[in-house]
Structures are given as structure tokens and as C-alpha cells.
Amino acid sequence: MKKLILIFSFFFVLLSKAEEKKISLSFCIPVDKIDFNPFRPINDGKDLGYLMLLRSYISTDGSEPGILSQYEFSPDGKTFTGRVDKDAKWSNGDIVTSFEAALGIAKTLNFRLLGERVSILGTEAINNPGWSNRKYEGIEIIDQRTFKLKLKTQIENIQGVFREALSTNSRHNRFWPIKIKANEDLSNPEVLFKDKYVRLGGAPGIEIQGYRIAFTNKKDCVHPDFSIFPEVFSSLNNLVKRKSPNSSAITLQLNTTRLSLVERKNLSGLIRSSFQGQPEDSGVQQVNSFFLPGEPGYNQQLKWQNSFNIKKLGKKKFIIAYEIPIYKKIIEDYLKLLDLNFELVQLPSNRIDIDAQVLASGMIEGRHVILQDVLKWPHVKEMISGAPKTLKSLSKIAVISASTLPPDLQTLQGFEKNANEEFSLVPIARRYPTAFSNQKISFCLSWNKTGELKFQKSDCQ
């Protein structure tokens, strides 16, 4: 018997070693914690470095399936019917049920900016203990694969907004289901990736062509094989580089209660100038307006100033918050050339003395969809309370969802005109994110046509 146990132990050790060998690649995301629990806010834009690898509810790219194979809205747009794809399965082969898909949407709404404007009827207690064992007025489970949701909202274009939130294009409103367990343990949930799901030491990971890819956080980012964050690499030489077809908008939000109009104009000119002439690997290109030629809302008559007067900024100390580390480096490098007093702090920040913050938001087919929710971002509403025209425009955009298909061009143009007069929100640049990969591997991190991350298995050299 002892001999049998020894033989079994020997083979168990060999199997464990083989499993360890498979964990040979790393995808680095410089966050403190990699968290796949959908029932928490997405406050850090760096989260999207791994959340974009999850399978979305609705696919807008024919090369990647969505969790739902079919969906439709009622004529008034307030009832959503979804049918789960028969191939949407958990790692043990269980299908994703309509119950899991419906609960995933209804509960996640409470943790997204969109949830301020949209909810599922009768789900007020969905965050209380026992939430997965309750029945809710606005959730109807028709069969194992089909469900209906009754939406509660004042948004006029609810079909466009809700469809976009569930799609592969979504950013800070991203939704994904989890495998609901009897004990409601959300500390390490199982989620659906676009590629094969595996568990690596208890944490989620993916498997491609026999390789296992571990997601590594800031502390464990050592010699990464993949990332979309250039700062994690010691050198960008000898890497496969793939630029996203979609850009992120970089926007400066100025504190209209702390700064005079003259200070706002000159501070925005200074920050805009710092983003000029960036190297190609940064993917950063300065822009002349919020909306570029061909995009909804573009006004060729409107241009933002790109100059500043140092004397009018004086010796006052300006506090600027930033979201992405590369923005800090760009601004810091430029400010070293000037004799000005600045402090840079990283978002999210609870400080109330911020003069300006540099924000990033993903564009969707040339549309600033985040404009619909920007008033819900930390500090934004308070900081532009001294810009009544901008506030009024953003409030209107939120109600009619002017940035969602079909876009309302007049409203979008009116917003930029008001922001330009009050210097409350200022367009700075666009960034085309780049995916970096170890060139020695037979596949690479890339993008689909809508700007979603994927692992490309050919044509990577």
C-alpha cells in the first residue's frame, strides 16, 4: 500500500511540474490587484488591460462570438430579450444559463456609471445577502437559455445605450456574468474569456496553443511577454507591436471654481502643448477639437488655442491629476523646461484641491460615448459647477444620449461650443494604444476591428 502511495505521489509531483511548465508566459497589467468580480466599479482605466479579454454579452465583431446569440427590444425599447449562445460554457462544460446571464446584467448595473440612469425594475434589494435566490419583478427567466429584462429609465435612446453597454465596444460600462455559486463567494469568480479558461494557482488565466498565460499585477511584472502598457518593459526593442484601430480621447477637465477664465485658458494651452510631437511608440497625437473630421459633432469652424502665457500663470501652485502613467511622464518632461510650480497626483484621488485632471476615455467608431456619463466621474460635476453652459449641455447629452447611435450632431456641437467658451473641458490628444508582445512567441497580443484586445494566432512578425 505504501509503495502504491509513493508511486501515486511521484506521478502527482510530475503532473504538478508539467502544469507549472505550462505557465510560461505573462500578461502584465500595472494594477495593485487583478479583480474579475463584476460587482464593483471600474475606476481604474488600467483594469481594461485585462477586462477587454473577457467575452462580452453582445459581439460587434463577426470574428468573436458574444455570450448572447440573439437579442431584441420591445417597440418602446424598455424590454430586452436575450438568448444565451449554446457554446457559451464554463470551464467544466456547464452552459451559461439564462439565470446567470440575466443576474449578471441586473446586478452589475449597480456598479457602473450607466446604473445611475438605467436599472432593472424591482431590483432595489439585489445587493443584499441572498440576492441570487430572490425573484425580481423585472427579470423573467423563460427557459434555460432565454430571459427578459424590464428596464427602468428616462433615457430617450435606451436601445442604443443598452446595446452599446453590453457590446464588445463598451469600456467603463463593461458587463460580464460569473458562475453563481451557492455560497455567493465573489472573491475569485469564474468568468468567460475569449480564449480557453484555465486556473493558474487559483487565479484565472487563459491557454493558447499549449501555452498558459498568467495575468500579473504591478508587483509581479518581471520580464513580461505581453502588455499594452509600455512602461512595464525595460526596452521596447525586439517586441511585436500592434496599434489599435480605435483611439482613446485624452481630455483635460479644469476646475472652474478654483481657476479664473484666464488661468484656465493658459493652463489648457500649456497642457495641450506638452502633448505635441510625442514619439510614435506612445501612440499619442494632439488634436485641434473634440471631434475630428468625419466624426459626429465635428465643427470645422471651431479650434482650440494651443498657446499660453507663462506670466499669466504666475507663481501659483497648480495641482494636476492624471489617470494613465504615460500622461504624467509627458506633462512632467515638458514642465521640467519651464519655471512653474506644479504637483502631479494619480487618479482616483480624494483630494478636493485639484485644479485640473487629465482623463482618458475610449472612442467608439468616432463617438465620445463617455460624454453621457462624464458628470458621474469623480469631481467632474463639482469642478465644472462654474461653467453653467457646459453643465447644461452635458445634462442634455445624458438624457438623450447624444453620443450613442444615432448621434445627435447639433447637441454634440453645442456642447463643444459651450466648453470652448467656458474652458471647462478641453480636448488634448488622441492615443492609439499599442499591444506589445515577445517576438519569440508564435502568437501575439493584438486588436480586432472594433479595438478590442485579442490574441492573434498568425501574421505576428
Report DSSP letters for 57-112, one per residue: SB-SSTTS--SEEEEEE-TTS-EEEEEE-TT-B-TTSPBPPHHHHHHHHHHHGGGS
How many other CB atoms are found less than 10 A from the CB of residue 357? 24
For residue 5, which amino acid is it?
Answer: I
Q: Render pLDDT for 281-317 as a digit per residue (tens, 0 to 9).
A: 788 988 989 999 989 999 988 888 778 988 888 888 9
The region of weakest confidence among 17-26, 74-83, 311-320, 393-402 is: 17-26
Report DSSP letters for 204-248, one per residue: EEEEETTEEEEEE-GGG-SS-SEES-GGGSS--TTEEEEE-SS-E
Q: Render pLDDT for 187-210 as a digit per residue (tens, 0 to 9).
A: 778 889 988 888 887 778 899 988
> Does 348 sit behind a cis peptide bond, omega within 30 degrees of 0 on the bond before it?
yes
Going by pLDDT thresholds of 50, 70 and 90, the confidence category of residue 324 is confident
Q: Which DSSP helix (H) or strand (E) runs through 393?
A: helix 388-400
Q: Which of 57, 182, 192, 190 is nearest to 131 (CA)?
A: 182
Query: What confidence score (pLDDT) does residue 461 get?
Result: 67
Residues facing residue 200 across a β-bridge: 203
Report DSSP letters for 35-56, one per residue: ---SSS----GGGHHHHTTBPP
Q: Give the chain's mean pLDDT.
A: 87
Query: What confidence score (pLDDT) does residue 4 get?
Result: 46
Query: What confidence score (pLDDT) does residue 183 get?
Result: 56
Cell numbers found for residue 318: 497648480
This prediction has a pTM of: 0.80
Most confident listed range (67-76, 166-175, 366-375, 398-407) = 67-76
CA dihedral 59→435→217→191, nearest 10 degrees, is 20
Q: Render pLDDT for 421-452 as a digit per residue (tens, 0 to 9).
A: 999 999 999 998 899 999 999 899 999 887 88
Please give the span between the terminal C-alpha atoms of the chain, in angstroms, as a whole number.
54
Query: What confidence score (pLDDT) does residue 182 get?
Result: 57
Q: Which domains does the chain carry?
A: 55-192 (3.40.190.10), 248-431 (3.10.105.10)
Residue 358 DSSP SS3: strand
The region of weakest confidence among 2-6, 31-35, 60-64, 430-434 is: 2-6
Q: Considering the chain, what percentage of its residues have pLDDT values greater than 70?
A: 93
| Contact call for residues 178 and 100 (beta carbons, < 8 A) | yes
